[in-house]
Amino acid sequence: MTERVCLVHYHEIGLKGKNRSTFENQLVTNLRRALRHFPVAGVSRISGYLLVETTDKQATEELQRAVAQVPGVARASLAYRCGLDEQEFCNAAVKALGEAGNFTTFKVHARRSSTVYPRHSIELNQLVGAVLCENFPDKKVQMHDPDMTVYVHVVQGNAYVYAASIRGVGGLPVGTAGKVVSLLSSGIDSPVATWMVGRRGATVIPVHFSGRPMTSDTSEYLCQDIIEALESAGLIGRMYVVPFGEHQREISLAVPQALRIIMYRRVMYIIAQKIAELEGAKALVTGESLGQVASQTLDNIAAVNEAVTIPVLRPLIGSDKQEIIRRAQDINTFDISTQTAPDCCTLFMPRRPETHARIREVLEAWNSFNHDEMIENLMQHIEYIDFNQCPSYKPPKVLPARHKELAPAEFVTD
């Protein structure tokens, strides 16, 4: 019986030269974890591809879709794996094209990567093309921009035949670009920024600033839902939760109203930087888009950046809201993010926030309250929630208190 397997294509990894095997091995690890609920017999490397095999030898479209969601995957193709018997792989080509859906034009793309097979690629194209023309007499061969392409690749003693291929998320495997700390809210923007940096190979550690005890903890549960929605990408091992509401109240009483948001964000950035130091992360990530709200003007961004020394990455800085919404819908976080939840972002907000902060006035406001004591207190009350998502995530040896209600019991450290 002809086997059905999933071929995993990658683009950027193929350009990595001597480091290519490191990226391939990480992608293999991430795929095994992402497919742990499927009957996968193995994930292995073959010439120019990764190969996913199932125990029943019949990979499914559901598995193909799961593969496509893993960062580093450019395309995922359901392929028939045949021996080098010409009748067998020609029959597989007929079956693959017949299953491809509606089409008017097609072509064959055959390639020989194994010298065990005597025919050259041109002869292989002609052989399979002739069989397909015979079986699909009402369809037209078209070499440029056909509706459908049937691929026949002879690799390591087998022929892989497919036409059913879907686009993957691309990027690089999570775990190949180091750690970053992401400031994650339950809104639309920051989950998208988190996903985009993870797609570039970073292991992401979100930190969520809750309005607790001044608000309910609803936003914390929504953030948990967002992380679970991103589960297929395998970006996240742990989320930190910072109860910030009481300290926001303190800031709101101490500083000029127009500068509240900048003070809040400076404290958040410093806490995030300290978590980055704890985790060994090299950058912070935010969901800011230039000019989208008052706190995201260049002057205000500079005033907040001044508080930290670590690089701050802003993947959405040039995106408009509609672009961000479309991406949120693509990664299945939009519906979660549009649920109403009180959090620190809406707590003690000024009526007229400053849009062009002057650094002298910012520093004066900053020194009007004991920010060092506040940051120390916040660090003592940080909680965490662990998620079994990211095989590249290694927790720090020194751990703050777990989140008492949300942290899974198996991750509790006494």
Q: Are residues 183 and 260 in the same domain?
A: yes
Domain boundary among 143, 167, 191: 167
Q: What is the pLDDT of residues 249-265, one digit of tens each?
A: 999 899 999 999 999 99
Q: What is the pLDDT of residues 133-183, one digit of tens each?
A: 999 999 999 999 999 999 999 988 899 999 989 999 999 999 999 999 999
Q: Are residues 208 and 310 in the same domain?
A: yes
Q: Is 334 within any annotated ligand binding site?
A: no
Q: Are residues 199 and 159 in the same domain?
A: no
The SS3 call for residue 381 is coil
Q: Is 64 within any annotated ligand binding site?
A: no
Q: Is 50 within any annotated ligand binding site?
A: no
Q: Are residues 340 and 306 in the same domain?
A: yes
Q: Is 144 within any annotated ligand binding site?
A: no
Judged against a pLDDT cut of 80, whether residue 370 lies above it is answered with yes
Q: Is 265 within any annotated ligand binding site?
A: yes
396 or 60, greater pLDDT: 60
In a domain? residue 414: no
Q: Are residues 267 and 357 in the same domain?
A: yes
Q: Are residues 12 and 58 in the same domain?
A: yes
Q: Is 339 within any annotated ligand binding site?
A: no
Between 260-279 and 359-366, two packed helices, what is the crossing angle to 10 degrees? 70
Domain containing residue 65: 3-167
The predicted model scores a pTM of 0.89
pLDDT score, position 201: 95
Q: Are residues 400 and 362 in the same domain?
A: yes
Q: Are residues 188 and 153 in the same domain?
A: no
Categorize the per-residue pLDDT at 413 as very low, low, confident or very high, splitting at 50, 70 and 90. very low
The SS3 call for residue 239 is strand
Q: Is 208 within any annotated ligand binding site?
A: yes
Counting the structural domains of the chain, the total is 2
Tell me the C-alpha distance between 83 and 280, whole Å.
49
In the block, tokens 């410093």 appear at: 270
Q: Are residues 191 and 121 in the same domain?
A: no
pLDDT score, position 399: 59
Whole-Å CA distances, 344 to 203, 212, 400: 25, 8, 21
